Structures are given as structure tokens and as C-alpha cells.
Amino acid sequence: MSFVAKAENNNLISHDADIERAAFALKAMSHPLRLKILCAVGEKELAVQEIVDCVGTTQSNVSQHLAKLRDKEILSSRRDANRIYYSVKDERTLRLVEMMRDVFCSN
């Protein structure tokens, strides 16, 4: 049985638009640094410098990846004076990250 047939039988993602949206989001999260950023932000709201400190790379590099996550609607941002704060836009994204941690990370 094909994956699409299983999807339809198990009521998984079966609409093309939903599949495209899921692939779009997963592609945005698939870069190791972007996934690390998502893990750092978690349920908190962090300023760019706090994220830089957590992930251990340059501010320029982090800013480029934050822009991609924001553009793909994974993160939301807000400005407070001269600081920009980021948070995960949808808590279901955090559940997905937690599931990936459970599957791929050794404890």
C-alpha cells in the first residue's frame, strides 16, 4: 500500500495544500542551526542576543536564520525599543520539536 493510500486510510495529511504547508514548515526547521534556535527559544520569548548566547554562533548568522523562521511563520517577533524578541508562533511546533527530540536524541 502506498504512503498516500495509508494517509487516506489513517486520516493523516491527505489534502495537497496541507501536505505543501507541512513540507514548507519542515524544510524551514530542517537546518541544524534553525532547529537549535527553536530548542533555545522553546516556550520562552528571547532577544536576539540571548539566542546568540544559547546557540553559540555569530549574531549575523543567527539573524539570517531567524529571518527564515519568521518568513516561514515558525517564529513571531516583536520590537521593544532597540531589541527584537522572538517566540514560537504556534505551540504545536513545540510539540513537534519535542517529538523529534524523543525520537532522535539520546538521554
Q: Which domains does the chain have, with CATH numbers?
A: 32-104 (1.10.10.10)
The DSSP 8-state label assigned to residue 25 in this structure reads H
Residue 23 confidence (pLDDT): 87
Place of cell 522572538: 86
Residue 10 confidence (pLDDT): 61
SS (H, E, C) 93-104: HHHHHHHHHHHH
Cell of 11: 486520516
Cα Rg of the chain (Å, integer): 16
Residues 36-65: b if buried by 16+ CB within 10 A, e if exposed: bbbbbbeeeebebebbbebbeeeeeebeeb
Residue 74 confidence (pLDDT): 94
Tens of each residue's pLDDT in the chain, 107 residues:
455 545 455 666 678 888 888 888 888 888 999 999 999 999 999 999 999 999 999 999 999 999 999 999 999 999 999 999 999 999 999 999 889 888 988 86
Residue 2 confidence (pLDDT): 52
Residue 85 confidence (pLDDT): 97
Residue 32 confidence (pLDDT): 94
**In one letter, which amino acid is 92?**
R
